Amino acid sequence: MSWGDSFSMAWPWVALLWPLPWFVRRFLSGTSEPIQAISVPFGVEASGGSPGGRWRRLRAGGAWLCWTLLVFAGTHPLWAGDPVEVPRSGRNLMLAVDLSGSMKEQDLQLSGHPATRLAVVKSVLNPFIGRRQGDRLGLILFGDEAYLQTPLTFDRATVSQMLQEAVIGLAGESTAIGSAIGLAVRHLRDLPEAQRVLILLTDGQNTAGELSPQDALKLAVETGVRIHAIGVGADEMLIRTLFGTRRVNPSAELDEGLLRSFAEQTGGRYFRARDTQELESIYEELDRIEPVEQSKETYRPITPLFPWPLGAAVVLSLLMALGPPGAKFWSRIRPSGGAT
């Protein structure tokens, strides 16, 4: 149900409840006798009725007005704004982020201080998500298994929020790279081939999952999913021991050969992020990928109107609950004589 091009109601059937109080009073009150008139002093009657009577009539009308406002709010009125043009690149980017235990390694720097790999990934990936206007983005988090955290959507704020809420170990301590690719293929395979893109970010090798990396790669090649793989982690790290300081390679378990084969055989690229600056440059490079041009889309922003009648009903109810204004004044000047 709608009036014009802008106003509409999400639940117009709620308006059928408007006569409900009348039916309750008419058929369920248990009495049909009319309310007896109350005699009032002549002076008050001549002035238009007793204050109490006027207040009762005013309160009855206010009650109906409150109910009308509540019913109107219950219909969930909506206002559609002017059409807004949304540019579309036609690209569907699925982001697969590793949440295994090794992502807590503090071998990277963030604002000059040691930080976990996941913290650095979040700090760099969030601006990348914000820049992808016109793309549909999805988020896969993987550890022991892969989980679709956010399906493909234009809502970049939700994707960014779900990434920020991700914690290390949420999906387990191991690394199911094959399962992550398989899950991405499942959600990208029905799209036009040029629009299927997976950005895979990990710091290790496949150690879990029912789908092997080789089978996952075969699926990606068959369905035309292009994989950009990013290996995260420093090549060198100084640690202090009882025998002094020694150099270690915290990324010794990173399977670069596997990630490189993913990229080469699917038409994507492999990137190595040894520090925050390299990771930022990688996402800047991904930003430069030429989009697939498609016709622009438009949408009309919807503004819910129910808070206004609901708020008005609440305010009116509070005013009625305070009692008749000036009731104490009338009780002081009311004549002592007269019928009651």
Q: What pLDDT, in 10s, does the model give residues 265-300?
A: 999 888 888 777 878 888 888 877 645 455 566 767
- The answer, yes or no, to whether residue 112 has pLDDT greater than 80, is no
Q: Residues 6 or more apart from 224 whose CB is under 8 A from it?
A: 193, 196
- Please name the residue that has the structure tokens 């990013």: 230
- How does the average pLDDT of the chain come out, rounded? 78
The pTM of this model reads 0.59
> How many beta carbons lie within 10 A of that of residue 278, not counting itself?
16
The CA distances from residue 323 to 65, 70, 317, 319, 326, in Å, are: 17, 21, 10, 7, 9
Span 49-87, pLDDT tens digits: 555 567 677 777 888 889 999 999 899 898 887 777 665
Chain center to CA of 193: 28
Q: Which residue has the tokens 């009150």?
A: 29
Name the pairing type of β-strands 92-98 and 136-142: parallel
Question: Between the ranges 214-228, 274-288, 311-325, where is the mean pLDDT highest?
Answer: 214-228
Confidence of residue 227 (pLDDT cuts 50, 70, 90): very high
Q: Are 89 and 134 in contact (CB under 8 A)?
A: yes
* Amino acid (1-letter code) at residue 281: S
Q: What is the pLDDT of residue 38?
A: 38
Percent of the chain exceeding pLDDT 70 equals: 76
pLDDT of residue 329: 44
How many whole angstroms separate alpha carbon 219 and alpha carbon 10? 43
Give the pLDDT score at 328: 47
